[in-house]
Amino acid sequence: MSDPISRRSFLKLAAIASAASIMSAIPAQAQDSPVPFKQWKTKWNLGEIGKKEGVIRAKVTPVICNYCSVGCSVDFYTVGDNVIFASIGSPESPINFGGLCSKGAAMFQQITSDARVLYPRIRTGPKPPPEELLKARSWEELEAIVKKYPPKWQTVTWDEALRFVAERLKAILSSWRANSGAPRQSDGFYYNPGSANPVQLIGSSIMVNEASYLVRKLAAYLGTSNMDSQYRKCHSSTVTSLAVTYGWGIETATNEDVALADVVLFFSSPAEAHPLSFWYFFKGKRERGTVFITFDPRFSRTAMVSDIWVPFRSGTETAIFNYILHYAFFERKPALDELPEFKRLRSRWNLTDQDLEEFKELIKEYNAEEVSKITGVPVETLRNVAKIYVERSGVVSNHKKHGIIQWAMGMTQHTNAVINIIRSAAIVQLLLGNVGYPGGGTHPFRGHSNVQGTNDIQGGGIDALPGYHGNPANAAEVRMYQDWKLQGMPDAWSWEVPAWAQEAFPTLRAAAARGRADLAKVLQVYKFYGWRRHELTWGVFCGTDPESDPRGGRVICDFPFGAGSTEITFVRRALGGEIRAALIFGENPAVSNPNAKLVMAALSSLDLLVVVETFDTETAWFADVVLPAASFAEVEGTRTNGNRVIQWTHKVMEPRGMSRPDYWIVVKLFEALNAHGVIALPSQLAGKRSEKVMIRKGDRLVELYERRVDGSASWQYSGGNGAAIPISPIEAEVNPRLINKEINFAVLIYDGIYNPVKDQYTTMKRDRRLRRRGEIDGLFSEKFEIYKDWGWAWPQNVRLAYNYDSLVAVLGEKDVVEAAGQRFEVTGETGEWIDEFTGEYKPAFLPGHNFWVPRSFKRKLSGVADIWGGLDVIHFIRTRELRFPEKSFVIEEGGSVRTLSFQEFIASTGMRYLWANDTLFWDADTTSFRAQVRRPFFSGTGWREYKPKYEEFRAELRKLYEEKKNMKEAMLKLIEERKWYAGYDFRYPIHTEPAESPDVEMAIKYPTLAWLNPHNVRVLKEEPNAKGTGLALIPQELPEEGELVIITSNRLTEMMHTGSTTRNLPYLAQLVPEPYVSIPEKLAQKLGVKPGEFVEIITARGSVKLKAYVTKGMGVFKLGEKEVPEISVVWAFSFAGKTPGIHANFLNPDVGDVITTIQESKAWIGKVRKAR
């Protein structure tokens, strides 16, 4: 497994072969020196110029880059703990082929940066008072207040720091438990709701999976649902929107697949934020003439290399997507729905004829003229783009061509991102036949190196366990779960929803009987199945006591119930006193959250803020305790890139100072908290020390074995054997390889990252080969050039999600695969899965990957045995020893019921490796679920019935506004009367304005849907007691002076996120030494502002002065009669670190998406004037 490290050297890795042929063109030169008495130099030693001679004997370690989500491998050449050279990618990686961007090339400077935190420390001085911070009306004022209270630190030992945290947390949690009685309930022990817990955990999308997983685990053990991470603020809307439509919130295809696209609609700037993705985008351009179209108000680096740049008003994407469909249905001849491929694909969508008619009625309204008014894009441009896009789609070209919709924050950070914007993109892709086919798909590009992984591995934090198994909603659900356990942990088809549970869960009624399953039932089982895997891997309990009485027993559940606060909602909750302590791992919300003064006040208001960080960040400024985290080069583990490829990142050197890997820190935190009695699991308090595992057979309950319940045993991660031999003393204490195995077993979608049969970490695979026809996914890999042996992808190594029939649709042939002694006929990408008979791989999803799998699965051990046949999985993870209970299988034979041991069971069935795959399988039933084009979000009716009500709603809003001359009051009145969009279930997306609209007519015609979430109403009302943190709903609510502008923000290649990992590096800081605002030339002329001069930007939250970057490349949009310019701020700066700068996130509002609360930081309004 250390192969990638040892075999290589600087010279071996060069493209020697090609270079050799170049060198043969070098003439032999043995001329005399032209300078008398002096030797004429003609030969240089390797590394001579930059004093890097050491490179020749350096060790090479491939590290997965910790910036963006592309997943590049960076080669570190080191001698001892010194980095000799690391500005080069790994040439063998099929993701970056040796290439890097400026960040990757400079990343090694993170290790030696003197802005690093190297020792644990405790605050001794006061924090900035929240009330004072909230009074700031400008960034200058806020910065001055913050700096008035510089933190004073005392350096302490790890023991002292951990004890301090444990004692403080104990005080906070003990008083909460005493006052609330939690987790004691009238009918048992459980934390309900988990959001009532005063502790918030945050982080982190930059840590390895092994660490993020433990953070989520710690939150559960603390009894809190207030657990969130950066994914909230990046792509939570993508994840939710795509998940409810397709089954999973993921980029549907992989890096290399974009080269097969014929047209790409860029709604973000991957050339800027994901530079290495352009390796494959350009491959497509070179080989197929892919047309690149960039939609962006700003002329980005992606626009630089695009064929067409379409500036459009931020926040109006839904209108654009709906117009593309309008073109396809109403302008194109023949219409989209008359094409045979459209008709064929309908069997994979949930659209009835009636639904389609209703949907088309809605789409009809989005004609080019209207969409042009909304978006500011000329009609002709809209038409050209729609034509190119539709003509190059799967349906129209019969899968000769496909198109990609690519996006990032520009689309996700809106109040209507889930319901309208991303849904509309997802629907366009479905209806055009672009999803699940090579060169098509939805491509949300995620921001951070492990944001996809952390999202998966924390289950989205607030309301689900790792792997998106939802938290228990209430005690009734736990009772139903206990009954499911008694039914032998069955799949959806083998499960009978008990009649008593159907009352509480009416959606399960339709397919309640055994033998039937619908999506609701499948999703319920997915939840239960996940709980069970977590019970077994964590050693905790969720169920009833006694186990035999699901209806009457006490409910005891160690998983906190319900949804907690998000990174966005936590801020106002903290200010309101509901959250008293926060543990923040590897994140800098002081800068990355919107509405800076609010978030800084909230951080200051906490009784305990623990910050685990590599750098001295702005968030650390407000901390009580700062714990030093090792850098990316000082840890090992896995990172999941934006398209789900999970790669092992190797450790280059030992941590500097007293910094420690995040996984080590979380485990030590747990140990300290546990020792101080801060951890109070419901099972512990209830005295539940073991679980009787039993299965109901007829009227009889057969007791199989007794499982020890001890939640702390699974926090023991020391040691390890075989492939898990610790790589250094720190890893011997807390071994990420053991945690990785635990993830493999706890998290169904990550099952496969470890192969327990071969004792192999599949994420370490670095084989750049294309599989061949006949192998698993051989034809797929060969023809579409997909690298399936580089790392591992979830689910089950599937690279192109929903690739159900593309072999047939595109190539016109099926593949026949021989594996595990069987023959499989497949039509798409199947992924691979361990066979329970042979322990070898076989195709997983048959005949190909489809919507909703692997959420829908079947299980041969349904009704027969516990998961993994009752294997003591905690023990196995740590020792690789198979330890089974004496009897853990129950079978019915000829009317009698028999219990069997593992050995007896395999003797009769041959399923020797059932502990490796839990006998899950996917057949035609499980792969038959449809994508949800129609998907309601609220109670109400569809579009057809709602349309007249919509007119009334708009008219009423207009009337109220004209009466009151105040939009805020008008809206509040309708909100209070519960009239806000009342009646529409939002089954299909419509355009709605951002909370802050640049035009009053637009605000009335397309009212924002923000007020469907109570958090946003809180923002509107500036609660709790936070004047000057609210909104200007329309331009009339802004100060009179200055020019009206639409404001958005952007990332730069050189500056990552809040800048702590880039502003602190000299190489990157020289490229972008300070923040600025891009303003259109036209506006600059009007204001009399020259490049580099300061402009003042004024919003409802206050003002900021930024230098003007004057460019032709910013949109100016016609809105009604007036022209409104858009400006874009660079927000990667704030007051701390080596290169401080003005903090642009001071300006944006903290209203959020109505479903996920991701902040609306891409479309808000303000006034701009020349700074005085």
Partner 1 sequence: MKVPKPGAREGVAVIVNLDNCIGCRACQIACQEWNGRKAVKTQFSPTFTNPQDLTADSWKVVFFKEFSVTKLLRLAEGDIELKDTVEVVPVPYNCMHCADSPCARACPVGAIKVSPEGAVVIESSECVGCGYCLAACPYDVPRKGSDGKYYKCSFCVDRIQVGREPACVEVCPTNVFTFTSMSEAEKLLASEFKDKKVYGLNLDGYVGGRTRWIFVASKDAADKVFPAMFPEKAENVNEVRDLANEFALPGLGVLALGMLGLLGLAWLRYRRNGSH
Name which of residues 98 to 137 contact partner 1 (CB under 8 A). 98-102, 104-106
User: Quick one: residue 1040, left, alpha or beta (phi over 0 = left, psi -120 to 50 = alpha)?
Assistant: alpha
User: From residue 305 to residue 334, what is the string marking binding to partner 1 with x (rule CB under 8 A)?
Assistant: x-xxx-------------------------
Residues 6+ apart with CB under 8 A from 325: 336, 363, 366, 427, 428, 431
Least Å distance, CB 1117 to partner 1, is 15
User: From residue 1119 to residue 1138, what is the string marking binding to partner 1 with x (rule CB under 8 A)?
Assistant: --------------------
Q: Is 25 in the site for partner 1 (CB under 8 A)?
A: yes
Structure tokens at 915: 């502990």
CA distance 1082 to 262: 35
User: Site residues for partner 1, window 391-430 (CB under 8 A)?
Assistant: 391
Q: Could you tell me if 755 and 765 are in contact, meaning their C-beta atoms sit under 8 angstroms apart?
A: no
Amino acid letter, 20: A
Residue with Cβ nearer partner 1 (27 or 895): 27
E strand or H helix that includes residue 1098: strand 1094-1099
Q: Which stretch binds partner 1 (CB under 8 A): 10-18, 215-223, 565-573, 1038-1046?
A: 10-18
User: Site residues for partner 1, window 840-859 (CB under 8 A)?
Assistant: none
Q: Which stretch binds partner 1 (CB under 8 A): 13-21, 427-435, 942-950, 1005-1013?
A: 13-21
User: From residue 1047 to residue 1066, what is the string marking binding to partner 1 with x (rule CB under 8 A)?
Assistant: ------xx-----------x
User: In 3-state terms, what secondary structure has residue 742?
Assistant: helix
User: Site residues for partner 1, window 66-95 (CB under 8 A)?
Assistant: 85-89
Residue with Cβ nearer partner 1 (404 or 525): 404
Residue with Cβ nearer partner 1 (278 or 717): 278
Nearest residue to 267 (alpha-carbon basis) of 393, 399, 103, 403: 403
Give CA angle at 636 (631, 637), nearest 5°.
120
Nearest residue to 1146 (alpha-carbon basis) of 276, 431, 140, 334: 140
CA distance 852 to 859: 16
Residue listed under structure tokens 């891009």: 1078
Q: Which stretch binds partner 1 (CB under 8 A): 680-688, 726-734, 795-803, 1072-1080?
A: 1072-1080
Residue with Cβ nearer partner 1 (302 or 442): 302
Q: Could you tell me if 494 and 860 are in contact, meaning their C-beta atoms sit under 8 angstroms apart?
A: no
CA distance 525 to 531: 10
CA distance 520 to 518: 6
CA distance 1011 to 1152: 10
Residue with Cβ nearer partner 1 (276 or 629): 276
Nearest residue to 144 (alpha-carbon basis) of 1031, 1150, 1167, 1142: 1142
Least Å distance, CB 70 to partner 1, is 9
Residue with Cβ nearer partner 1 (231 or 281): 281
Least Å distance, CB 43 to partner 1, is 7
User: Site residues for partner 1, window 219-278 (CB under 8 A)?
Assistant: 271-272, 275-276, 278
Least Å distance, CB 1057 to partner 1, is 17
Strands 858-859 and 920-921: antiparallel
Q: Which of 38, 965, 978, 1172 binds partner 1 (CB under 8 A)?
A: 38
User: Site residues for partner 1, window 356-395 (CB under 8 A)?
Assistant: 384, 387-388, 391
Q: Could you tell me if 938 and 926 are in contact, meaning their C-beta atoms sit under 8 angstroms apart?
A: no
Q: How far is CA 666 from the centre of its chain?
A: 21
Count Cβ atoms within 10 A of the Cβ of residue 1103 and give its class: 0-12 exposed, 13-18 middle, 19 or more buried. buried
User: Site residues for partner 1, window 521-580 (CB under 8 A)?
Assistant: none
Least Å distance, CB 1079 to partner 1, is 12
Least Å distance, CB 433 to partner 1, is 18
Residue with Cβ nearer partner 1 (90 or 209): 90
User: Site residues for partner 1, window 1084-1103 (CB under 8 A)?
Assistant: 1091-1092
CA distance 995 to 324: 25
Q: Is 96 in the site for partner 1 (CB under 8 A)?
A: yes
Residue with Cβ nearer partner 1 (269 or 862): 269
E strand or H helix that includes residue 62: strand 59-64
Residue with Cβ nearer partner 1 (400 or 1122): 400
Structure tokens at 282: 């350009």
User: From residue 883 to residue 922, what is the string marking binding to partner 1 with x (rule CB under 8 A)?
Assistant: ----------------------------------------
Q: Which of 1, 5, 52, 950 binds partner 1 (CB under 8 A)?
A: 52
Q: Is 50 in the site for partner 1 (CB under 8 A)?
A: yes
User: Site residues for partner 1, window 281-310 (CB under 8 A)?
Assistant: 282, 291, 299, 301-305, 307-309
Least Å distance, CB 5 to partner 1, is 20
| C-beta neighbour count of 308 within 10 angstroms | 15
Give how far Cα 592 sits from Cα of 52, 274, 505, Å. Answer: 38, 19, 39
CA distance 561 to 478: 10
Residue with Cβ nearer partner 1 (167 or 1081): 1081
Least Å distance, CB 1073 to partner 1, is 5
Give the neighbor-by-neighbor strand order of the sheet with 403-407: 308-310, 291-295, 263-266, 403-407, 442-444
Least Å distance, CB 320 to partner 1, is 17
Least Å distance, CB 103 to partner 1, is 8
Residue with Cβ nearer partner 1 (74 or 556): 74
Residue with Cβ nearer partner 1 (327 or 761): 327
Residue with Cβ nearer partner 1 (305 or 808): 305
Least Å distance, CB 88 to partner 1, is 6
Q: Which of 410, 1113, 1125, 1166 binds partner 1 (CB under 8 A)?
A: 1113
CA distance 662 to 1150: 29
User: Site residues for partner 1, window 202-221 (CB under 8 A)?
Assistant: none
Structure tokens at 141: 């004022």
**126: preceding bond cis by omega (within 30 degrees):** no
Residue with Cβ nearer partner 1 (27 or 698): 27
CA distance 322 to 421: 10
CA distance 220 to 683: 13
Q: How far apart are the first and last CA of the chain?
A: 62
DSSP 53: G
Residue with Cβ nearer partner 1 (289 or 774): 289
User: Site residues for partner 1, window 788-847 (CB under 8 A)?
Assistant: none
CA distance 492 to 513: 10
Q: Which of 911, 1072, 1079, 1154 binds partner 1 (CB under 8 A)?
A: 1072
Structure tokens at 674: 């546990």
* 1151-1160 per-residue burial string, b: 16 or more CB within 10 A, e: under 16: bbbbbbbbbb
Q: Which of 10, 176, 915, 1011 binds partner 1 (CB under 8 A)?
A: 10
Least Å distance, CB 378 to partner 1, is 10
Residue with Cβ nearer partner 1 (667 or 1072): 1072
CA distance 668 to 9: 37
Least Å distance, CB 29 to partner 1, is 4
Least Å distance, CB 273 to partner 1, is 10
Q: Which of 6, 48, 903, 1024 binds partner 1 (CB under 8 A)?
A: 48
Q: Could you tell me if 750 and 537 are in contact, meaning their C-beta atoms sit under 8 angstroms apart?
A: no
Q: Could you tell me if 98 and 91 are in contact, meaning their C-beta atoms sit under 8 angstroms apart?
A: yes
Residue with Cβ nearer partner 1 (229 or 1053): 1053
Least Å distance, CB 1042 to partner 1, is 22
Residue listed under structure tokens 């460019």: 1111
